[in-house]
């Protein structure tokens, strides 16, 4: 089976991310801004790490867009959309969020095995 360029990029990104990702299914609200539009989307977080999240959404948003992510019962974080497909996207968190994210991931994902 031949991989598309998009699949190759996603696979390389998964292999290079360097931080364990924990599978979760948490509700979230995403506010993203592009040069021309502002989006407010509801989504479900599929996995999370200190550096970012994989979110299931119903709209594709341009990579590079600034984003604010509100995770129910957890908090609000900022970052950029690293990649996007019609039903999912990846967010890289801003470095300023890292200490809080480390604490959150340690506490909320305790006992979960990271994804391979």
User: How far is Cα 25 from Cα 23, in angstroms, rounded to an integer?
Assistant: 7
- Tens-digit pLDDT profile for residues 74-116: 788 899 999 999 899 999 988 766 666 666 666 667 666 667 6
Pairing relationship of beta strands 22-33 and 88-93 according to DSSP bridges: unpaired
How many other β-carbons are positioned within 10 Å of the β-carbon of residue 95?
10
pLDDT value of residue 15: 46
Count of other CB atoms within 10 angstroms of residue 42:
13
pLDDT for 27 equals 93
pLDDT by residue (tens digit) across 25-69? 899 999 987 778 888 999 999 998 878 899 999 888 889 889 999
For residue 93 the two structure tokens come to: 């968190």
Instruction: Enumerate domains of the chain plus CATH numbers.
Output: 20-108 (2.40.10.220)
């Amino acid at each position: 089976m031949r991989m598309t360029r998009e699949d190759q990029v996603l696979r390389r990104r998964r292999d290079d991310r360097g931080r364990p990702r924990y599978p979760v299914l948490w509700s979230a609200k995403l506010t993203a801004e592009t040069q021309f539009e502002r989006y407010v989307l509801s989504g479900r977080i599929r996995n999370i790490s200190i550096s970012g999240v994989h979110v299931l959404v119903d709209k594709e948003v341009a990579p590079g867009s600034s984003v604010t992510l509100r995770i129910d019962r957890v908090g609000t974080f900022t970052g950029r959309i690293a990649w996007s497909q019609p039903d999912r996207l990846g967010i890289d968190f801003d470095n300023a969020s890292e200490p809080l994210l480390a604490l959150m991931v340690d506490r909320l994902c305790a006992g979960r095995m990271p994804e391979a």
